[in-house]
Chain A
Amino acid sequence: MAEPMELLCWGGDWDLPSVHTDSLIVLAYAKFSGAKLAVKSIDWTWRTITASVPQLHYEASTVTEPTQILNFLRKQRFNADYELTAKQGADTMAYIALLEEKLRPALLHTFWVDADNYANLTRPWFTSHSPFPLNFFVPGRQASLALSRILLTKAESPLLNITEVEGKIYSEAKECLNLLSHRLGNFHFFFGDTPTSLDAFVFGHIAPLIKAPLPSGQLQKHLNQLDNLCQFCNTILKNYFNASAEKRTDCSPTAIHDPVDANLQKLTQLVNKESNLIEKMDDNLRSSPQHRPHRH
């Protein structure tokens, strides 16, 4: 390349190169495929409200949307997927669809709609990273976009109320995380030993959930119990985003070194395990057939 490709994305925090899911996907894929990107963060610029992030600029052409950007990078011969078989390529598409359908609404809800998280974490962060006077508008706009997306795609009558939709989307998200955990198993990455675009997508979705200090995060607690996914996320951060890894001294997902908090965390995990077991028993009881199952 004569000149480097330029990527516009949201800035980083909480040990992550970016706090925005779509930006993380592109950054991770660029690292996996060896593409050199000049990363420009849009924090404190007017682009926070005008640009659709992430955005790739190269030789007067502009590409947005993670899937389009990944396609563009592949055409520029930065391909992290060339070792995949056709079936694995098909699996990638399917799992990405699963992430978008099942996990994304719950992520949007956790960060933008849940009152606790929005007021104490998301809004202050985005407000402090936007220039005056945009800091009044940017978080609110993102929040209303998130809410309308959730309601339009997930809330059909009689679930018109957001609280009823919440139950549905969180249970689907937990199921999705469990499925991803089963699929990952004990491997480092989803398809063998080298990361691919699917790894980038999964990383982009779960990394903010693992690292953000959310005041009320039931999905985060659920995710923390899935050790292989946490390990997956930390491996990628350590191997591909070295600068952030140096700041961390231990492997605890919330990066708080207070021993009191560590004990509280262990206690919470135990309680969650108990409640998960109870939920599973309940589910088993509910779904047990009323008559003996018949095979044809």
Chain B
Amino acid sequence: MSLAAEAFVSQIAEDQILLSDSASSLAVQTFLRMCGLPVQVSCCANAEYMSPSGKVPFIHVGNQVVSELGPIVQFIKAKGHSLSDGLDDVQRAEMKAYMELVNNMLLTAELYIQWCDDYTATEISRPRYSSPYSWPLNHILAYQKQWEVRRKMNAIGWSGKNLEQVYEDVSQCCQALSQRLGTQPYFFNKQPTELDALVFGHLFTILTTQLTNDELAEKVKSYTNLLSFCHRIEQTYFKEHDRESQSGSSRHSKGSLP
């Protein structure tokens, strides 16, 4: 390996983390494993504040800190590891377009469901987000985060949507991904790329997270090739490395790699 030190992926703690952050974190872990780099996951409650851009997850290599999948991919590329070198220009354009589709649709839908749907926000998001803090900080931080997310939804025009329309959008996004994937093992045939990591991160988290209802997971499950895609990546990259730690169906594997 030409990476001098191990990469530490930092994210929020297990019982505090929410769906969207968990999805992004899993995407980064998958990408690093696909590159064959040693990864160690460390969780802390204030990971959001430690990150240089305010978003989790971020990786910590030597004395450099990089956050979010896009910059991490470029950083790893600068160190000499890349999954998308074999792609020509048109394919690279397609890959970037699909990554934006996932970010635009899936991530925004996840944020909407967590913070703009009152029931989910009250039952799940706010209690989880504020769990490590004591009163009154927990209320303040939870409501602040909710307000921020709602403002953003307003700015991009999602605040006028209701939950049904959001589920419909997720379904269309999954349909597009399913049609693009077809019967191939990965999105760009034989080799996995960062797009595969991103899609796996989001879909796997949606499938394995308990929300107030299962409608989101049902939407994803209706596309069988996406399901088998998730299984395949889980088998290839997570099960074989989980020797000491808990079974591979947990959302985050915490063991360190040899």
Interfacial residues, chain A to chain B (CB-CB below 8 A): 65, 86-87, 89-91, 93-95, 97-98, 100-102, 148-149, 152-153, 156-159, 179-180, 182-183, 185, 286-294, 296
Q: Does the CB pair A185–B101 fall under 8 Å?
A: no
Interface residues as binary, B5-33 with A (CB distance below 8 Å gives 1, 0 otherwise): 00000000000000000000000000000
Q: Does the CB pair A294–B52 fall under 8 Å?
A: no
Q: Which of A94, A183, A286 contacts B98 (CB 8 A)?
A: A94
Residues of B within 8 A of A182 (CB): 89-90, 92-93
Q: Does the CB pair B74–A86 fall under 8 Å?
A: no
Residues of A within 8 A of B213 (CB): none
Q: Does the CB pair A149–B155 fall under 8 Å?
A: yes
Q: Which of A158, A185, A286, A292 contacts B52 (CB 8 A)?
A: A158
Residues of B within 8 A of A91 (CB): 94, 97, 180
B237 to chain A, nearest CB (A): 13
Most buried by A among B79, B82, B96, B103: B96
Interface residues as binary, B163-196 with A (CB distance below 8 Å gives 1, 0 otherwise): 0000000001101110110100000000000000
Cβ of B243 within 8 Å of any chain A Cβ, yes or no, is no
A295 to chain B, nearest CB (A): 9
The residue on B at minimum CB distance from A294 is B2
Q: Which of B80, B152, B177 contacts A153 (CB 8 A)?
A: B152
Contact residues of A: prevailing secondary structure: helix
Task: Assess A293 versus B80: contact at CB under 8 Å? Given A97-B105, A148-B155.
Answer: yes
Task: Assess A90 versus B175: contact at CB under 8 Å? Given A148-B155, A158-B52, A182-B90.
Answer: yes
Task: Assess A294 versus B1: contact at CB under 8 Å? Given A153-B155, A153-B156.
Answer: yes
Q: Which of A94, A156, A183, A286 contacts B100 (CB 8 A)?
A: A94
| Residue tally, chain B, CB below 8 Å to A | 40
Find residues 89-114 in chain B having any chain A CB closer than 8 Å to their own CB: 89-90, 92-94, 96-98, 100-101, 103-105
Q: How far is the CA of A73 from the CA of B141 in the complex (A)?
A: 44
Q: How far is the CA of A286 from the CA of B79 in the complex (A)?
A: 11
25 A–B contacts from the bound complex (CB under 8 Å) = A86-B179, A87-B180, A89-B176, A90-B175, A90-B176, A90-B177, A90-B179, A90-B180, A91-B180, A94-B101, A97-B97, A97-B100, A152-B156, A153-B152, A179-B97, A180-B93, A182-B93, A185-B90, A287-B74, A288-B78, A289-B2, A289-B78, A290-B2, A290-B78, A293-B80
Interfacial residues, chain B to chain A (CB-CB below 8 A): 1-2, 36, 52-55, 74, 77-82, 89-90, 92-94, 96-98, 100-101, 103-105, 151-152, 155-157, 172-173, 175-177, 179-180, 182
Residues of A within 8 A of B79 (CB): 289-291
Task: Assess A287 versus B100: contact at CB under 8 Å? Given A93-B172, A149-B155.
Answer: no
Q: How far is the CA of A159 from the CA of B77 in the complex (A)?
A: 23
Task: Assess A156 versus B179: contact at CB under 8 Å? Given A287-B74, A294-B80.
Answer: no
Q: How far is the CA of A65 from the CA of B160 in the complex (A)?
A: 11
Q: A98-B100, A180-B93, A292-B2 provided; 8 other pairs, C-beta below 8 A?
A: A86-B179, A97-B104, A97-B105, A156-B55, A179-B92, A289-B2, A290-B2, A292-B80
B3 to chain A, nearest CB (A): 9
Q: Does the CB pair A157–B101 fall under 8 Å?
A: no
Residues of A within 8 A of B97 (CB): 91, 94-95, 97-98, 179
Q: Does the CB pair B81–A294 fall under 8 Å?
A: yes
Residues of B within 8 A of A101 (CB): 100, 103-104
Q: How far is the CA of A93 from the CA of B106 in the complex (A)?
A: 13
Q: Does the CB pair B101–A179 fall under 8 Å?
A: no
B240 to chain A, nearest CB (A): 14
Q: Does the CB pair A65–B157 fall under 8 Å?
A: yes
Q: Which of A149, A156, A289 contacts B156 (CB 8 A)?
A: A149
A185 to chain B, nearest CB (A): 7
A14 to chain B, nearest CB (A): 26
Residues of A within 8 A of B177 (CB): 90
Residues of A within 8 A of B98 (CB): 94
Q: Does the CB pair A291–B2 fall under 8 Å?
A: yes
B50 to chain A, nearest CB (A): 12
Q: Does the CB pair A100–B104 fall under 8 Å?
A: yes
A265 to chain B, nearest CB (A): 27
Q: Does the CB pair B179–A87 fall under 8 Å?
A: yes
A13 to chain B, nearest CB (A): 26
Q: How far is the CA of A158 from the CA of B67 in the complex (A)?
A: 12
B37 to chain A, nearest CB (A): 10
Q: Sorted from nearest, which 9 A-B pairs have the closest CB atoms?
A: A289-B80, A90-B176, A94-B97, A179-B93, A97-B101, A291-B2, A98-B97, A97-B104, A86-B179
Q: How far is the CA of A149 from the CA of B158 in the complex (A)?
A: 12
